[in-house]
Amino acid sequence: MKKLAICVFTVTISLAGFGQNKASITGNVESTFQYLNQDSLIGADQPAEKGLLNTYMNVFATYGGFKAGMRFESYLPRIQGYPNRFDGTGIGMRYVGYANDFVDVTVGSFYEQFGSGMALRAYEDRSLGYDSMLDGVRLIVRPTKGVTVKGVYGYQRLSFQSGKIVHSDGIVRGFDGEVNINSLFKKLGDKRLDVTLGGSFVSKYQKDNNEELILPENVGLYGGRADLAYRLKKSRLTLGGEYIIKEQDPSADNGYIYNYGHAALLNFGYTRKGLGVMVSAKSVDNMSYRSDRSKELTDLLINYLPAMNKTHTYNLVASLYPYATQPTGEIAYQAEILYTAKRKSWLGGKYGTSFNLNFSTAYKPLQHTSNINPLDSTGVAYEGRVFDQSDSLLWRDINFNIYKKFTKNLNVRLSYFNITLNNDVAKVTGDAHGYINTNVGVVEIGYKINNKHSLRLEIQGMLINKVQEDVTEIHGSDTTTTSHTLRNDKGNWITGLLEYNISPHWFFSVMDQYNIKGSIQSVAEVAGQPTGVHYYYVSCGYIREATRISVGYGRQREGLFCVGGVCRNVPASNGLTISFTHSF
């Protein structure tokens, strides 16, 4: 017994001395079940299987510096709205590796981002069914404080069929270096100005599989970035920028033209306690970069072009008319300010009041064609310049909100949004004409009944612009065409949400989203779609530490479901959803 104790003791000591961490296993599981009904009113279909089930489980292990992990995925079959080539059960991600302060090497699957991601970003977003991980080798070296060098080599994950990963046709290679000047040179260590510089080079190879065109098989992309921060007594100024150039990359996205592409990003920030300001600008031209030139939508993107607008959270604002970056070209700007008036001041009242204003806009870039002969042998279709915009508006969003806590138990947030979207270019709906313009108002009230019980109420209303449409009516042999004033797209909406929480275990919520049948018909209504429909949804959930079970039942509108500026189309549905998540 004593011997065993000593033995265990020695093993423990040696493990502890082996690395900073002992052995550890962590992971999580996520499972979503749907049972769907037929609902002809909203155009929701019942799948043949009736019941659908998605499940994921990650297990990650570390032992000293060694690491290994995998993710099992299961689609029996996939839930609604997911990419249609996900099926079966199997391993969707796996790796082994070793890491210490100097090196970090991974063989197998990995996620990675260079700079802002405009050169390379391999990432996952499970709620969207998006996963662009690389399968191959990654090496990260940190030779000295403030210096990081990365190299990646691999095939991208395209889909998951019959329980197996399906890879891209083309291979991806990338290198990135970053230096913090202040850490590198000791005497600059505590200067007010902090400077970080970085550079990336990425290359993809795909065989020329086109019989008519001579396509470049190796396509490079490269650029640099700089981040400056200046520390003042009580505030901080930051300025960051990245510029990326893409070589000739004829693809399905750009119509097989031989133009170079560019992406430029500028960020400015000013912060002090109680005040934050940020301004960003972006110029993108011909910048979609995929490991398979024939792919479209969200498939096999090597780089990530961040959309330059706020991610909204209220349902009507977030899901009806969202905006995603136009990878073929856009010039965009955003500015935002958040100010919190101090407690006990005139504006602040007893608990302080927050004011938030946000503005974003995007335009189509100008394409110069005067010196270009599109029929010559170069294949260059136009000339695109950095921050050279046309007057064709793609998107504009002006929004503000005020948050005030009135008493210990009562708080109110008032929000207003004015959103304009060019549906001819950044298409989000098939029923709208030209520009969609909406005004949305939201009142949100939180009320704490006591330490455990609380209520939250949201009332959201959306007014949409009117458009003129010619309607042709046939009476026997006569046809008459009259011009009608219609509400754009599906018309106006109102949403109510009531949430009841019992901390720390339970929540209950009821939501109704009503598509108002008004005196003026909507474009969708004239096209024969139903209006005056209630999209009700009830849900409840139980949470215990890292386990969460929720059950929801009701109708869900068809539309774009977006996370982080990446969107997927979700069909209308009516039914039961049960989800289970657990972390360990």
Partner 1 sequence: MGASAQENHGKLLDKKVASVQLKDVEGNRVNTAELGFDGPVIISFWATWCSPCKRELNTIHDVYPDWQDATGVNLVAVSIDDEKTKNSVPMYVNGKGWDYLVLMDPNGDFKRAMGVNNVPHTFLLDTEGNIVYSHNNYAPGDEHELYEELKKLVTK
Using CB under 8 A, which residues numbered 502 to 561 contact partner 1? 502-504, 507, 541, 543-548
Parallel, antiparallel or unpaired: strands 124-125 and 130-131: antiparallel
Whole-angstrom distance between the N-terminal and C-terminal Cα of the chain? 32
H-state helical runs in 265-339: 315-319
Task: Check the CA dihedral 99-105-109-110 and report its sign.
Answer: positive
Count the neighbouring beta carbons within 10 Å of the beta carbon of residue 424.
Answer: 12
**Residue 258 or 289 having the CB closest to partner 1:** 289
Q: What's the CA gap between 371 and 307, in Å, rounded?
A: 31
Least distance to partner 1 from the beta carbon of 426, Å? Answer: 15
Residues 221-280, interacting with partner 1 (CB under 8 A): 227, 229, 236, 238, 267, 269, 271-278, 280
**Residue 137 or 563 having the CB closest to partner 1:** 563
Residues 456-495, interacting with partner 1 (CB under 8 A): none
Pick one of 72, 111, 222, 553: the residue that binds partner 1 (CB under 8 A): 111
Q: Are 496 and 511 in contact (CB under 8 A)?
A: yes
**Per-residue string for binding with partner 1, 147-186, x by CB under 8 A?**
---------------------------------x------
> Is 142 strand, coil or helix?
coil
Least distance to partner 1 from the beta carbon of 86, Å? Answer: 18
Q: What's the CA gap between 283 and 296, in Å, rounded?
A: 21
Residues 290-349, interacting with partner 1 (CB under 8 A): 304, 306-308, 310-313, 336-340
> Is 523 strand, coil or helix?
helix
What are the CA-CA distances from residue 341 to residues 92, 235, 338, 351 (Å)?
Answer: 49, 17, 10, 9
Residues 23-52, interacting with partner 1 (CB under 8 A): 23-28, 30
Least distance to partner 1 from the beta carbon of 453, Å? Answer: 8
Q: What's the CA gap between 575 and 31, in Å, rounded?
A: 17
**Residue 315 or 574 having the CB closest to partner 1:** 315
Least distance to partner 1 from the beta carbon of 367, Å? Answer: 26
**Residue 177 or 518 having the CB closest to partner 1:** 177
The backbone region for 516, taken as left when phi is positive above 0, alpha when psi lies in -120 to 50, beta otherwise, is: beta
Pick one of 10, 14, 21, 369: the residue that binds partner 1 (CB under 8 A): 21
Q: What's the CA gap between 213 and 293, in Å, rounded?
A: 13
CA-closest candidate to residue 485, choices 534, 548, 438, 433: 433
136 binds partner 1 (CB under 8 A): no
**Per-residue string for binding with partner 1, 435-454, x by CB under 8 A?**
-----------x-x--xxxx
Residues 379-438, interacting with partner 1 (CB under 8 A): none
Among 80-88, 484-492, 498-506, 521-529, the segment contacting partner 1 (CB under 8 A): 498-506
